[in-house]
Amino acid sequence: MKGLSQLINQRDWMSDVRMKLLAGPLLILMILGMMILPLPPFALDLLFTFNIALAIMVLLVSMFAEKPLDFAAFPAVLLFTTLLRLSLNVASTRVVLMEGHQGGDAAGKVIEAFGTFLVGGNFAVGLVVFLILVVINFMVITKGAGRIAEVGARFMLDAMPGKQMAIDADLNAGLIGEEDAKKRRAEVAQEADFYGSMDGASKFVRGDAMAGLVIMVVNLIGGLLIGMMQHGMGFGEAARTYTLLTIGDGLVAQIPALVISTAAGVTVSRVNTEQDVGQQMISQLFVNPQVMILAAIVMGLLGMVPGMPNLVFLIFTALLLGLAWFLVRQKDQALVKEEISAAPPPLQETPEASWEDVQLVDTLGLEVGHRLIPLVDSRQKGELLGRIKSVRKKFAQEVGFLPPVVHIRDNLELPPNTYVLSMKGAEIGRAEAQPGKWLAIDPGQVSGELQGTPTQDPAFGLPAIWIEASQREHAQVYGYTVVDASTVIATHLNHLLHRHSPEMLGRQEVQKLLDKLGDDQKSLVEEVVPKAISLTVLQRILQNLLEEDVSIRDMRTVLDTLAEFAGQQKDPNELTALVRIALGRAITQQWFAGQEVLNVMGLDAQLEQVLVQAMNGNGAMEPGLADTLMSQAQQALERHETSGEPPVLVVQHSLRAVLSRFLRRRMRHLVVMSQAEIPDDRTLRVSTLVGGR
């Protein structure tokens, strides 16, 4: 029975798939059949009614869509609905010209109703109404929608590189994952395709309006000729009969066309928000009581002018005043609730001090000014909390341990737009962010200037400008990397986490790393800690690695190396050097991913000999030699980075630790590697010399 049920479900699913695949071809065949085969009046009634219902459904879907991609099939729907109307026009024209002499219902009840009831049987009125509908559709709605679609397509294509750069920036900062990045890139491409398709699809509606005019003229002239010449009708009788039928035919096609054109205008003219068009209009039109009061005053003054329809104007005056009173009452109630929630609690007797009053220092803290509170308030849909979680997750995946939780609090003593990042109670970063605005960061190759507040990117010190949201797309077109305030703070936090990672790695984190190795590596862990070295020494070694941006994810290699050499060597610095050699392939991969030839910086042979002698002597450099080495290394690093190569200096193994500590004081991003750390299958090429001519 279970197998039979599965077989039935599979057959139903396959049947459903076949119906979806055949829906498009069947619709096209039906449309072509209506153009070729004669249809009875009753079939025309059904199809005209279906056309009207379909137009209303399309309009409602476009109204309730929150963003254009929610109705991505609209260009294709526009094409099919246009073809459906034209095929109905062809089918109804055939029936009108062949059977129109029999009376008003010869072409069906729907055409008769539109030709008699809606225009009162007056063909002159019907003709005027039809022409007005065509003008509204052709000159106003369709033309405006077509222009908006054209401009939207152009700006969307121009903004694509900037949007792709923003996605890459979020991905590199750890704010989104690879799957989210792929999804957002696909959405950007779909938006470009949608607006490009809408630019072409809007021409269908314009052509449909022109075809409606031509069909009306053909029906009028052809009906008069057929009525008088083939059926012996008088001019007046033929004119009345065929004109009413033609007008009914035109109206029953033009009204759905007008509805579809309106749907196209709504789709391309909307602004992307989390609300549909109806919600946007209500929430933005009927929100200010002052507007309602001023409008009521104007309507009341007009209602008191003699000769005006006073009752109608006064009714609307009363409605506007009532709406204003309702809005004012709502605002007062909201203020009362805020005051009640903000009111201080009643005075109580102060309790005795206890150990619960002792506040321990948070490892990581974020303090924000009062204007930045909405960014960290989940009730106000603040995005910063989620991005901080993403930063911590990506840090753990890249560096190898989980950073502490970031404790967030507001600080009214800070300037309104200022935030402070602290570690163990000490400030490690401070900057400003402007909610509601976007930071346009200059990566060095922008093609235009922006209006805004000049500043610097707090994470990397790049020149930047705080701009309004309206300039965002222009900034992306110019080549700026554009991010919002939450992304600025999260990127700054990510940068500081990497920079201060050694300070965050405590004994508890090291113990959790050992516990994570699990039962499979239990013997290895016990051999190293505490038999060979203590937990404190292991912590110092891992901190040394983090100090030079080396990931500690490969704990097995670290422990294997310590198990081999810890019995011979107890100095944490020497053990760190041995661990670096074991991790050499990973370190090389970090800076030279996929490169067989490694273009690095090197020391001039004479300078290297002097340094070796100095280290072998008293173990310290003379002040003059130190100044010369620092200035020459800085110049070489600038030349090396100009050529686009990684900032890596390769030296003798005995010099690596000393030079790294010395040079990285001023050049934090410089990487000093030992020749022993380079894998044998990589070719080393010194492209820049420190101290060379």
**In the predicted model, what is the mean pLDDT of residues 379-403?**
88
Q: pLDDT category, 109, cuts 50, 70, 90?
A: confident
pLDDT score of 178 more than 50: yes
Euclidean distance between CA atoms 684 and 678, whole angstroms: 8
Three-state helix/strand/coil letters over 81-92: HHHHHHHHHHHH
Model confidence pLDDT, tens digit, residues 24-74: 677 677 777 777 777 777 787 788 888 888 888 888 888 777 777 777 777
Lookup result for tokens 């072998």: 616
pLDDT score of 104 more than 60: no
Q: What's the Rg (C-alpha) of the chain?
A: 38
pLDDT of residue 1: 46
CA–centroid distance for 257 within its chain: 34
Euclidean distance between CA atoms 87 and 33, whole angstroms: 9
Instruction: Report whether 263 contacts 237 (CB < 8 A).
Output: no
pTM of the model: 0.58
pLDDT of residue 560: 92
Note the helical H segments in 535-571.
535-547, 555-565
* Cα four-point dihedral sign 166, 171, 175, 176: positive
Instruction: Tell me which range, 288-297, 341-350, 370-379, 500-509, is most confidently predicted by mean pLDDT.
Output: 500-509
Beta partners for residue 683, in sequence order: 597
CA–centroid distance for 66 within its chain: 14
* Cα four-point dihedral sign 542, 545, 546, 547: positive
* 8-state DSSP, 68: G
Look at phi and psi of residue 644 and say left if phi exceeds 0, alpha if psi is from -120 to 50, else beta: left
Instruction: Report whether 119 contacts 126 (CB < 8 A).
Output: yes
Give the closest residue to 422 by CA, choosing from 484, 503, 540, 486.
503
Euclidean distance between CA atoms 319 and 325, whole angstroms: 10
Please list, in sequence order, all residues whose beta carbon lies within 8 angstroms of the beta carbon of residue 325, skipping any fewer than 6 positions away.
Answer: 289
**In the predicted model, what is the mean pLDDT of residues 530-555?**
91
Lowest mean pLDDT among 89-103, 441-455, 551-565, 651-665: 89-103
Assess whether the previous peptide bond of 530 is cis (omega < 30° from 0): yes
Q: pLDDT category, 298, cuts 50, 70, 90?
A: confident
Amino acid (one-letter) located at 660? S
The number of beta carbons lying within 10 Å of the beta carbon of residue 77 is: 19
Give the closest residue to 257 by CA, choosing from 173, 136, 347, 144.
136
pLDDT of residue 4: 45
Q: How far is CA 133 from CA 81, 85, 108, 137, in A?
A: 18, 16, 22, 6
Amino acid (one-letter) located at 532? A
And the tokens for 560? 């294997």
Exposed, middle or buried: residue 337 (CB in 10 Å: 0-12, 13-18, 19+)? Answer: exposed
pLDDT score of 342 more than 70: no
Q: What is the mean pLDDT of the chain?
A: 80
Euclidean distance between CA atoms 515 and 555, whole angstroms: 11
And the tokens for 374? 């909405």
Model confidence pLDDT, tens digit, residues 192-206: 777 777 766 667 766
* Cα four-point dihedral sign 288, 289, 291, 295: positive
- 410, containing H or E segment: strand 406-410
The number of beta carbons lying within 10 Å of the beta carbon of residue 375 is: 23
Give the closest residue to 494 by CA, choosing from 571, 632, 384, 597.
384
Model confidence pLDDT, tens digit, residues 607-630: 888 888 887 766 667 788 888 889
Model confidence pLDDT, tens digit, residues 439-463: 999 988 888 889 999 999 998 888 9
- The sheet with strand 438-441 has its strands ordered as 453-456, 463-467, 438-441, 481-484
Helix, strand, or coil here: 514?
A: helix
Euclidean distance between CA atoms 10 and 13, whole angstroms: 5
Euclidean distance between CA atoms 300 and 510, whole angstroms: 77
**In the predicted model, what is the mean pLDDT of residues 633-641?**
89
pLDDT score of 371 more than 80: yes
∠ Cα 341 345 351 (to 5°): 145
∠ Cα 426 428 430 (to 5°): 115
pLDDT of residue 465: 94
Q: pLDDT category, 2, cuts 50, 70, 90?
A: very low
pLDDT of residue 95: 76
pLDDT of residue 273: 57
94 or 654, which is more confident?
654
* 8-state DSSP, 137: I
Q: At what angle do helices 178-229 and 74-99 cross, to 10 degrees?
A: 10
Q: pLDDT category, 382, cuts 50, 70, 90?
A: confident
